[in-house]
Amino acid sequence: MNARPALAKIISGVLLAFGMLTLFLSISVLLDLFGIRERESPYVPAVVWANLIASLLYLTAVVGVLLKRRWTLRPLFAAVAALLIAGVFLVVHIVEGGAYRTATIGALAFRTLLTLAFFFALKWATSRTATN
Protein backbone atom coordinates (compact mmCIF):
# COMPACT_ATOMS: atom_id res chain seq x y z
CA MET A 1 0.00 0.00 0.00
CA ASN A 2 1.31 3.45 -0.94
CA ALA A 3 1.46 5.83 2.03
CA ARG A 4 2.18 8.92 -0.07
CA PRO A 5 -1.44 10.06 -0.56
CA ALA A 6 -2.12 9.73 3.17
CA LEU A 7 1.05 11.68 3.96
CA ALA A 8 0.02 14.39 1.49
CA LYS A 9 -3.30 14.75 3.32
CA ILE A 10 -1.57 14.96 6.70
CA ILE A 11 0.84 17.59 5.40
CA SER A 12 -2.04 19.53 3.85
CA GLY A 13 -3.88 19.43 7.20
CA VAL A 14 -0.89 20.95 8.96
CA LEU A 15 -0.52 23.46 6.12
CA LEU A 16 -4.21 24.35 6.42
CA ALA A 17 -3.85 25.05 10.15
CA PHE A 18 -0.64 27.03 9.61
CA GLY A 19 -2.25 28.99 6.76
CA MET A 20 -5.37 29.83 8.76
CA LEU A 21 -3.30 30.96 11.77
CA THR A 22 -1.07 33.07 9.54
CA LEU A 23 -4.09 34.59 7.79
CA PHE A 24 -5.73 35.46 11.13
CA LEU A 25 -2.58 37.03 12.59
CA SER A 26 -1.72 38.98 9.43
CA ILE A 27 -5.21 40.41 9.09
CA SER A 28 -5.29 41.17 12.82
CA VAL A 29 -2.08 43.20 12.59
CA LEU A 30 -3.10 45.02 9.41
CA LEU A 31 -6.61 45.87 10.65
CA ASP A 32 -5.58 46.35 14.29
CA LEU A 33 -7.93 43.66 15.61
CA PHE A 34 -7.87 42.29 19.16
CA GLY A 35 -4.91 44.48 20.16
CA ILE A 36 -2.52 42.28 18.19
CA ARG A 37 -0.94 45.22 16.34
CA GLU A 38 0.11 46.80 19.63
CA ARG A 39 1.50 43.49 20.87
CA GLU A 40 3.45 43.00 17.63
CA SER A 41 4.71 46.57 17.35
CA PRO A 42 6.90 47.76 15.89
CA TYR A 43 6.05 45.66 12.88
CA VAL A 44 7.45 45.83 9.35
CA PRO A 45 4.55 46.24 6.88
CA ALA A 46 6.34 44.38 4.06
CA VAL A 47 6.77 41.33 6.28
CA VAL A 48 3.12 41.36 7.39
CA TRP A 49 1.92 41.69 3.79
CA ALA A 50 4.22 38.87 2.69
CA ASN A 51 2.81 36.71 5.49
CA LEU A 52 -0.71 37.52 4.34
CA ILE A 53 0.14 36.60 0.75
CA ALA A 54 1.89 33.42 1.92
CA SER A 55 -1.15 32.40 3.97
CA LEU A 56 -3.41 32.66 0.92
CA LEU A 57 -0.90 30.67 -1.10
CA TYR A 58 -0.76 27.98 1.62
CA LEU A 59 -4.53 27.63 1.44
CA THR A 60 -4.38 27.44 -2.35
CA ALA A 61 -1.82 24.63 -2.10
CA VAL A 62 -4.14 22.74 0.27
CA VAL A 63 -6.90 22.93 -2.35
CA GLY A 64 -4.43 21.59 -4.91
CA VAL A 65 -3.59 18.63 -2.69
CA LEU A 66 -7.24 17.82 -2.08
CA LEU A 67 -8.02 18.00 -5.80
CA LYS A 68 -4.78 16.13 -6.69
CA ARG A 69 -3.64 18.85 -9.11
CA ARG A 70 -0.20 19.19 -10.65
CA TRP A 71 -0.08 22.89 -9.82
CA THR A 72 -0.14 22.16 -6.07
CA LEU A 73 3.52 23.07 -5.61
CA ARG A 74 3.39 26.37 -7.49
CA PRO A 75 1.65 28.30 -4.68
CA LEU A 76 4.24 27.06 -2.18
CA PHE A 77 7.06 28.10 -4.51
CA ALA A 78 5.44 31.52 -4.85
CA ALA A 79 5.12 31.75 -1.05
CA VAL A 80 8.85 31.06 -0.67
CA ALA A 81 9.56 33.79 -3.24
CA ALA A 82 7.28 36.27 -1.42
CA LEU A 83 8.96 35.53 1.90
CA LEU A 84 12.44 35.91 0.41
CA ILE A 85 11.44 39.26 -1.09
CA ALA A 86 10.10 40.27 2.32
CA GLY A 87 13.49 39.35 3.74
CA VAL A 88 15.15 41.78 1.34
CA PHE A 89 12.68 44.49 2.37
CA LEU A 90 13.38 43.71 6.02
CA VAL A 91 17.13 44.09 5.53
CA VAL A 92 16.62 47.41 3.74
CA HIS A 93 14.25 48.52 6.52
CA ILE A 94 16.85 47.65 9.17
CA VAL A 95 19.75 49.28 7.30
CA GLU A 96 17.73 52.47 6.92
CA GLY A 97 17.21 52.55 10.68
CA GLY A 98 13.57 51.49 10.71
CA ALA A 99 12.04 50.14 13.89
CA TYR A 100 11.59 46.39 14.11
CA ARG A 101 11.47 43.54 16.60
CA THR A 102 14.47 41.24 16.59
CA ALA A 103 12.02 38.32 16.73
CA THR A 104 10.88 39.33 13.24
CA ILE A 105 14.19 38.17 11.76
CA GLY A 106 13.92 34.72 13.31
CA ALA A 107 10.22 34.41 12.57
CA LEU A 108 10.71 35.27 8.89
CA ALA A 109 13.62 32.84 8.57
CA PHE A 110 11.59 30.11 10.30
CA ARG A 111 8.53 30.70 8.11
CA THR A 112 10.65 30.64 4.94
CA LEU A 113 12.39 27.39 5.92
CA LEU A 114 9.10 25.82 7.01
CA THR A 115 7.52 26.75 3.69
CA LEU A 116 10.46 25.14 1.88
CA ALA A 117 9.97 22.03 4.00
CA PHE A 118 6.27 21.95 3.07
CA PHE A 119 7.25 22.35 -0.58
CA PHE A 120 9.71 19.45 -0.60
CA ALA A 121 7.53 17.20 1.56
CA LEU A 122 4.53 17.73 -0.72
CA LYS A 123 6.70 17.33 -3.79
CA TRP A 124 7.65 13.88 -2.57
CA ALA A 125 4.20 12.97 -1.25
CA THR A 126 2.32 14.05 -4.37
CA SER A 127 4.64 12.66 -7.01
CA ARG A 128 2.72 10.36 -9.37
CA THR A 129 -0.65 11.26 -7.84
CA ALA A 130 -1.43 14.56 -9.61
CA THR A 131 -3.89 14.68 -12.51
CA ASN A 132 -3.93 18.26 -13.83
Per-residue pLDDT, averaged over 126-131, amounts to 66
Per-residue pLDDT, averaged over 20-24, amounts to 97
How many Å is the Cα radius of gyration of the chain?
16
pLDDT greater than 80 at residue 3 = no
Cα of 54 vs its chain's centroid, Å? 4
Closest CA to 71 of 113, 121, 126, 125: 126
pLDDT greater than 90 at residue 110 = yes
- How far is it, in rounded angstroms, from Cα 130 to Cα 132? 6
Q: What is the pLDDT of residues 61-101, one digit of tens each?
A: 999 999 989 899 999 999 999 999 999 999 999 999 999 99
pTM of the model: 0.90
pLDDT greater than 70 at residue 132 = no
Neighbours of 18 (CB within 10 A): 19
pLDDT score recorded for residue 62? 97
Closest CA to 54 of 32, 75, 33, 28: 75
CB neighbour list of residue 105: distance below 8 Å, 6 or more residues apart: 90
